Structure 1
């Protein structure tokens, strides 16, 4: 599924939350979208996942289709896991949301399969950054019918952009797109083509990934 944002912006009570942004998300591609803190990372994620209506411009397909096929991953103050929960509890909740077995054994088996069982009892806030990012992407990718993952600001807790970039890349398939919303600093470190918040990115911002 392709997603098109055409000059899509969001206006809040005290001014713009996201300045008009144009972007195309295609299956089989990893798209990096960069901006300074406070320029609309989460607002764009909510638009692209059909969970917010644009104040200006448009996003297609329709919101109902987007909600079925797009997962917003670890968005701050939206759906980031509760820090006081254990990793096992977080995994159990996500497995249940995915309509998969979510009992103690199922959670244990999932964590073993994903090499995260040693952190099962740790508070989520103490889980290593790589494990946190890997686990949440893996759970999101397993949700039925999902064609797009949007990872929101992993650099707020993950110090190495090359590591979260590699994890995101691993979830790109010929039928699945991945979008990562990040800081300008992270984009500069990665030194790859990227889109920008508040700009028209439909000409030269794409980086194609062959799964």
Structure 2
């Protein structure tokens, strides 16, 4: 399965939130996009997953039917939402930092339509080696643990094939940590789009051109990887 953005632009009330961008990523693949912090990251995450309508351009959901001469038209927003989840998007899907890890897990399981009784939470924490963190506030856990926790909960939702991890670097820690989390998720068969700052991409060894100075400039693809799928 594949999500493809072609000439997608998002306008704000006074200025663009996201200038035209072309982007594609598939299940079993990790794509890192780097850009300046700002509205561009949020707009890209939401428009790519059907949670915001583009002002121009189109978002397609593949694959193309076998034998078809042309690709299908733009995907329905509901179809995109059904197969995707946005993780920790500032001001949109980020949880309250004052919540305990156990409370975040209970809420995440409930949102996924799963049982979220204390025993279910304890079992989930044990399966993800997080039992010792259950009583800690979310803002007390290392950034990579937060990203792994929230991404795993998002992946619990039935039908989810794509995840967008928005600016995991804002929580600190080495970029290699959350990049490894993304790689593991992709190896499970998910398509993972990771958004980060240019400095974090450079820490991962990417040579990027200078920024244009506008928060609306779309993030650029910095890395693309397709780890061996483990399932």
TM-score w.r.t. the length of structure 1 is 0.91
Q: Which runs of 5+ in 2 are unaligned?
A: 61-74, 212-216
- 2:189 is the alignment partner of 1:210: no
**Aligned partner (choices 210, 218, 230) of residue 198 of structure 1:** 218
Cα distance between partner residues in 2 of 1:200 and 1:21: 9
Q: 140, 146, 158: which one pairs with 1:126?
A: 140
Partner residue, 1:164: 178
Residue by residue over 1:16-56, the C-alpha shift from the partner in whole angstroms, topping out at 9 and shown as x without a partner, is 11111100111211000110112511110001110000112
Distance 1:199 1:121, change over 3 A: closer
2:7 is aligned with 1:20: no
Quote the residue 1:62 is aligned against. Answer: 76
Please report the TM-score for the alignment, with normalisation by the length of structure 2. 0.84
Contact 2:33 2:219 in 1 (8 A): no
The change in CA–CA distance for 1:56 and 1:199 in structure 2 (over 3 A counts) is farther
* 1:89-112 deviation line (CA, Å, top 9, x unaligned): 110011011111200111011111
Q: Residues 31, 14 of structure 1: CA spacing in aligned structure 2 closer, same or farther, 3 A cutoff?
A: same
Aligned to 2:40: 40
CA distance in 1, matches of 2:104, 2:24: 32
Q: Which residue of 1 aligns with 2:65?
A: none
Distance 1:199 1:127, change over 3 A: closer
Q: Matches of 1:39 and 1:184 in 2, distance apart?
A: 15
Match of 2:153 among 135, 139, 156: 139
- Aligned residue pairs total 208
